[in-house]
């Protein structure tokens, strides 16, 4: 008798599961659905949301019409195009970009950002699309042409950047290091005002800034500071990263990236 009851329960459970399965397959709402990938989300939304720190010409800045402009902006336009979606840009403080990406506020970061080991722990990076070195910019008349000339003086860096890291490692105790949230125009203004003796930026950025500012010069190039720029995407967004990499590869191999770089430098120089 007891065996019979047990058998009944087992058969009952099996039949119940079978019915449940059949019902569930008719109503997809009951199904266990795979979580939507970021790429699927972007396509459904119809908009790619990009974070940048628009203070770094010729990579990203706000032009005289109040529009985002620069090399990085042109690159993400191509990515949005490849995805078949619109583009929305959010201007975020450089040192808050990674957190915004991790928090899902933006889909990717393009900000001439260097894939450092520390950042790699938090997000993923595309293939590199640019390489550069650091330079110090000072007033033309300032007697600065080597690191030693900066000792005892104050230098400006952007908060959260590899330039800030470099200054902390190499100048701490020798210079006063002042960190700012925006390079252009803020750090350029404090330099002109004499609040700092020099600012540390990338060579390409320095060149376009001094080209429009006769008071400034590149004081010297900093040895051993070669670094790359890449696009940051969230971890586990392989399908998005794949397309980002494909666009970068294509822009490089067709020579279009070089054209964009030249065109955006010229555009910046003609501004204002």
Residue 28: CB minimum distance to ligand ARG, A: 44
Q: Report yes or no: 71 and 58 within 8 Å, Cβ to Cβ.
A: yes
Smaller CB distance to ligand ARG: residue 60 or 264? 60
CB of 52 to ligand ARG, least distance (A): 6
Over the window 220 to 259, marking each residue x when it contacts ligand ARG by CB under 6 A and - when it does not, the resulting string is: -------x--------------------------------
Q: 202: which strand partners? A: 134
Mark the segment that binds ligand ARG (CB under 6 A) among 41-49, 75-83, 156-164, 251-259.
156-164
Give the other-Cβ count within 10 Å of 268's Cβ: 21
Integer Cα distance of 74 and 68 in angstroms: 10
Which positions from 99 through 138 interact with ligand ARG, judged by CB under 6 A? 111-114
Interface with ligand ARG includes 183 (CB under 6 A)? yes
Which window, 51-59, 99-107, 173-181, 256-264, contacts ligand ARG (CB under 6 A)?
A: 51-59
Q: How many residues bind ligand ARG, per CB under 6 A?
A: 15
Site string for ligand ARG, 52-81 (x = CB under 6 A): -x-xx--xx---------------------
Residue placing its CB nearer to ligand ARG in the complex, 39 or 208: 208
Residues that bind ligand ARG (CB under 6 A): 53, 55-56, 59-60, 94, 111-114, 158, 161-162, 183, 227
């Amino acid at each position: 008798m007891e065996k019979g009851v047990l058998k009944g329960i087992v058969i009952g459970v099996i039949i119940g599961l079978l019915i449940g399965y059949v019902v569930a397959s008719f109503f997809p709402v009951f199904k266990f659905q795979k979580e939507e990938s970021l790429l699927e989300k972007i396509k459904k939304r119809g908009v790619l949301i990009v974070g940048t720190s628009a203070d770094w010409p010729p990579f990203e800045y706000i032009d005289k019409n109040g529009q985002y402009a620069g090399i990085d902006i042109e690159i993400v336009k191509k990515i949005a195009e490849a995805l078949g979606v619109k583009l929305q840009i959010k201007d975020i403080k450089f040192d808050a970009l990674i957190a915004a990406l991790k928090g899902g506020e933006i889909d990717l970061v393009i900000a001439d950002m260097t894939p450092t080991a520390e950042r790699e722990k938090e997000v993923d990076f595309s293939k590199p699309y640019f390489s550069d070195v650091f330079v110090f910019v000072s007033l033309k008349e300032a007697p600065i042409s080597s690191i030693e000339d900066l000792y005892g003086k104050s230098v400006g860096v952007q908060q959260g950047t590899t330039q800030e890291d470099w200054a902390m490692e190499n100048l701490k105790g020798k210079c006063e290091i002042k960190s700012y949230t925006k390079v252009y125009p803020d750090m350029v203004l404090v330099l002109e005002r004499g609040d700092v003796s020099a600012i540390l930026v990338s060579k390409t950025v320095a060149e376009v800034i001094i080209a429009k500012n006769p008071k400034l010069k590149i004081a010297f190039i900093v040895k051993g500071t070669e670094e790359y720029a890449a696009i940051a995407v969230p971890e586990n967004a392989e399908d998005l990263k794949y397309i980002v990499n494909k666009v970068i590869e294509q822009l490089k191999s067709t020579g279009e990236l070089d054209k964009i770089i030249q065109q955006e430098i010229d555009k910046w120089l003609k501004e204002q």
